[in-house]
Amino acid sequence: MVNKLLKKYAKNEKGLTLIELLVVIVILGIIAAIAVVSIGGIVGKTRDKAAVTEAVQIINAAKLAQSEDSKKVSWTPAELETYVSNLKDDTWTVNLNGKVYSIVNHDGGKVAKNSGSTEATATEKELTDFLNK
């Protein structure tokens, strides 16, 4: 008896129509397009924050170095290699002007200033303000 009922319902069951299948595919395509754009923005922001964070770490390394040699006011990557390692960029310089630390020729400076220029100099305050947004 149960088998007869199952066979009866199985015969009456209809499959998906082509239009229903196309609608599902279009909806999935729209969702995928939105996701790709969103993920691209997230990756770009993460890359920018990583560059600024690296610049802040370099400035903190300069502070440590300055605590050992209080007369020094400028540091290169070679001079700070004992304080910081695994950096992507090695063409920067950290300067101390009064009590203000700044980093020159680093991508983090360009990002923090949010300018279209090629100037890559930023103070510690500009870098931390960018990270706190």
Instruction: Grade residue 16 by pLDDT with cuts at 50, 70 and 90.
Output: confident
Best CA proximity match to 79, nearest among 108, 88, 128, 69: 69
Q: Is a pLDDT exceeding 70 seen at residue 115?
A: no
Q: Give the helix/strand (H/E) hosting 94.
A: strand 93-97
Please tell me the pTM assigned to this model: 0.71
Range of the domain at 24: 2-131
Cβ density class 8-44: b for 16+ within 10 Å, e for less: eeeeeeeeeeeeeeeeeeeeeeeeeeeeeeeeeeeee
How many structural domains comprise the chain? Answer: 1
Segment 41-59 shows an average pLDDT of 90
CA-CA distance, 35 to 101, in Å (whole number)? Answer: 40
Mean of all residue pLDDT scores within the chain? 85
The string of pLDDT tens digits covering residues 80-96 is: 988 888 887 788 899 99
